[in-house]
Amino acid sequence: NAGVMQNPRHLVRRRGQEARLRCSPMKGHSHVYWYRQLPEEGLKFMVYLQKENIIDESGMPKERFSAEFPKEGPSILRIQQVVRGDSAAYFCASSATRNYEQYFGPGTRLTVT
């Protein structure tokens, strides 16, 4: 009964490189959410996806950030040309339906040097 899985757990990138964060939702969950968290701050919603569709991306920067949840495989959050301000913890969560409880993965800590 695996929970939400994220990898890598820690990712170091130099400025200008690309970061790819992966999330495998809980078995049977088709709703995936990505959040960003800075130290001592709350969870900032980025994007909500349901298999193959982006439902709400209102929290995601218009440039450099993209997300997908293909029919097969994990959800991917992609950050192109990373900058120091992208350093944060990125959490993925999944749920069975939209307003049901969300189960969070352990997060990916991104550090941009």
Partner 1 sequence: GQQVMQIPQYQHVQEGEDFTTYCNSSTTLSNIQWYKQRPGGHPVFLIQLVKSGEVKKQKRLTFQFGEAKKNSSLHITATQTTDVGTYFCAGGGGADGLTFGKGTHLIIQP
Q: List interacting residues with partner 1 (CB under 8 A).
A: 33, 35, 40-43, 45, 48, 56, 58, 91, 93, 98-107
Smallest distance from partner 1 to CB 6, Å: 9
C-alpha R_g of the chain: 13
Give the nearer residue to partner 1 in terms of CB position, either 74 or 106: 106
Give the nearer residue to partner 1 in terms of CB position, either 26 or 112: 26
Give the nearer residue to partner 1 in terms of CB position, either 25 or 107: 107
Smallest distance from partner 1 to CB 23, Å: 12
Give the nearer residue to partner 1 in terms of CB position, either 15 or 98: 98
The DSSP letter of residue 39 is T
Smallest distance from partner 1 to CB 72, Å: 25
Q: Residue 87 burial (CB < 10 Å; 0-12/13-18/19+)?
A: middle
Three-class DSSP category at 78 = strand
Contact between 33 and 44 (Cβ < 8 Å):
no
Count of residues in the chain: 113
